[in-house]
Chains A and B, each alone.
Chain A
Amino acid sequence: MIEIRGLSKSFQGEKAVDSLSLTVQKGAVYGLLGSNGAGKTTLLKTLAGIYRPEEGTVTIGGEPVFEAPDVKRRIIFMPDSPYFFPQASVRSMAAFYRSVYPSWSEKRFAELGAAFKLDRRRKLSRFSKGMQRQAALWLALSCTPDVLIMDEPIDGLDPVMRRQIKNLLFQEVAERGLTVLISSHNLREIEDLCDHVGIMHGGRMLVEKELDDLKADTHKIQVAFRDQRHSGALEAKLQILHQEQRGSVSLYIVKGDRERIAQAFHVYEPYVFDLLPLTLEEIFIYEMGDAGYDAQPILL
């Protein structure tokens, strides 16, 4: 559904996105993660047709997005802070979206009204941050888009609403094959929401994979060897991303097949052996560490 090939975009000579490629299948929920200033928002804005790609191509459903109203009609972009016209209410914003999006569904708008308990006549500027987000999503889903692009969508929503919104998105995905692209720092949310993730750093894509594969591929291992010489022998055999010594227990982050790794360790019959899947947060931190971006142990 979404295809980005070799995209570059710079601002005043500084590269925000650097020859980046990305693919999102129809009906997928794709989570875009990245360090601060990695270029996520630039990427999303280029995808929404707001920025013109400097190099490379950005296509949705096989067609370029920039200055193509026919393509943009099927896309909704939700920026990190929702924008409404001054003095607007949900009702007047709905009238605007109706005039712009031919796929606007009055029926859907009414149905969703039951899920979001918001006053349609009240001024949006008087809504709280979370309520504004809800209103933005209400309007977005009422347009029945094919592609929904959201920049930091979960910010400021309470747990009940988060669940509600997840459910609404999943319904759209299951029933209509909506494609969703989400950027977020909240890795827990992404973990529950997405099936594919991409991790960005410095304008480039570090990893792009199915979330379950990513988790099934990297493991955290705690092990206490009978003999320290065993560790050296193992290190030659496995692809080790990270290693730490905590007393007599060693911590390894290893890439590869679970069974094979477990076997490799069992040969040495260690005193303690624990193999755990990684959380997305740990994957993020170790991948970033690999790219030279990690928390420095500074005490202030």
Chain B
Amino acid sequence: MFELDVRSRKPIYEQLTDKVKEMIMHGILQADEQLPSVRALSSQLTVNPNTIQKAYRELEREGFIYSLPGKGSFVAPLAQERSESQRTELREQLLRLMAEAVYLGFTESEISALYRQMLERKSGGEKHD
């Protein structure tokens, strides 16, 4: 279920945490869905189990997953504060991109057109589900 790039400079545990977060945000992993066990994932990806353990620990610390002793790790329901901190982070990223866009001469209507485009794509995508 995960594809890792072992040639990438990015540490493997970071690739793993990013992948899981992405899958949770896109709804590929649903709330309370069980994640593969450390052992299973280790042999599936040929990745050091300690690295996977570390990625899961990190995800748990950030509130993306929770673990039940003896049962495994599960996707946490989206917490309010978490989406709040994501919004702050995204706002900063957007501001940085906006600065570039303004510099390159994007107009307000061009940017709002982009926003509408994504909005339509999202509602279109949901209809197909």
Contacts and interface: CB of A to CB of B under 8 A. Distances in A.
Nearest to A25: B50
A63 interface: no
Contact of A27 (B9, B11, B50): B50
B88 to A, nearest CB: 14
Interface residues of A, number: 23
* Interface size class of chain B, counting residues whose CB lies under 8 Å from the partner chain: 10 to 19
A29 B47 CA distance: 11
Nearest to A180: B48
A277 B9 contact: yes
Most chain B Cβ neighbours within 10 Å, of A170, A216, A276:
A170
A interface secondary structure, majority: helix
Contacts of A192: 6, 46-48
Interface string A226-240: 000000000000000
B11 A216 contact: yes
B45 to A, nearest CB: 9
A155 B99 CA distance: 52
B10 interface: yes
B54 interface: yes
B53 to A, nearest CB: 9
B105 to A, nearest CB: 18
Given A27-B50, A29-B50, A167-B43, 10 more contacts: A170-B46, A171-B43, A173-B50, A175-B39, A193-B48, A211-B11, A212-B14, A277-B10, A277-B11, A278-B9
